[in-house]
Amino acid sequence: MPGTATSNTNTTDERIISYLKGLRDTIVTAFQSLEPSTRFERTEWPYQGGYGGGEMSVLRGDIFEKAAVNWSGVGGETFPIADDKGPFFATGVSLITHMSNPHAPTVHMNIRYIKNEKRHWFGGG
């Protein structure tokens, strides 16, 4: 199951996973309160490049044409995009909303935590 401890995570990583899943759940609960007649559908997915996976939560309603609040936690033996080759771990939450009202803005944001053998950092956008 996504989000369980692996050989490449430690207690700090598990605390970050717990925090980010809690953040995801807080956002889902807030959105759900605005759309009481429908529910988020949650789907788990496996990460094919190593270990881990994620959970995609999608809501379609009257206010939100579509809202997605996703969590992932992945890792592997080779960090795919860095000079620091070696084991890596990454976890994060992403949020995407498309409102039914065409005058309301679309939102996309994410927060993530990435670590390899030499460093770790938070990012987002």
- Give the model confidence (pLDDT) of 82-110 as tens digits: 676 788 899 999 999 999 999 999 999 99
Assigned token pair, 100? 């039914």
Domain assignment present for 84: yes
Is residue 1 one of the residues assigned to a domain? no
Q: Which of 3-17, 18-32, 48-62, 80-94 has the highest mean pLDDT?
A: 18-32
Given a cut of 70, whether residue 58 has pLDDT beyond it is yes
> pTM of the prediction?
0.83
Position 2 in a domain: no
Q: What is the pLDDT of residue 8?
A: 58
The pLDDT value recorded for residue 96 is: 96
Q: The CATH number of the domain where 44 resides is what?
A: 3.40.1500.10
35 burial via Cβ count (<10 Å: 0-12, 13-18, 19+): middle
Annotated active-site residue in 98, 103, 108, 120: 108
For residue 73, give every residue at least 6 positions away whose Cβ sits within 8 Å of its Cβ, in sequence order, or none: 2, 3, 17, 52, 53, 54, 89, 90, 91
Closest CA to 88 of 74, 103, 75, 106: 75
In the residue annotation, 120 being an active-site residue is answered as no
pLDDT value at residue 2: 43
Domain region containing 94: 11-124
Q: What is the pLDDT of residue 23?
A: 96
Q: How many domains does the chain have?
A: 1
Query: Does the residue 44 lie in any domain?
Result: yes
66-89 mean pLDDT: 83
Question: 91, 72, 74, 70: which is closest to 25 by C-alpha?
Answer: 70
Within a domain: 117: yes
Question: What is the average pLDDT score of the chain?
Answer: 86
Work out the average pLDDT over 9-29.
91
Asked whether residue 3 is assigned to any structural domain, the reply reads no
Assigned domain for 101 exists = yes
Residue 36 lies in a domain: yes
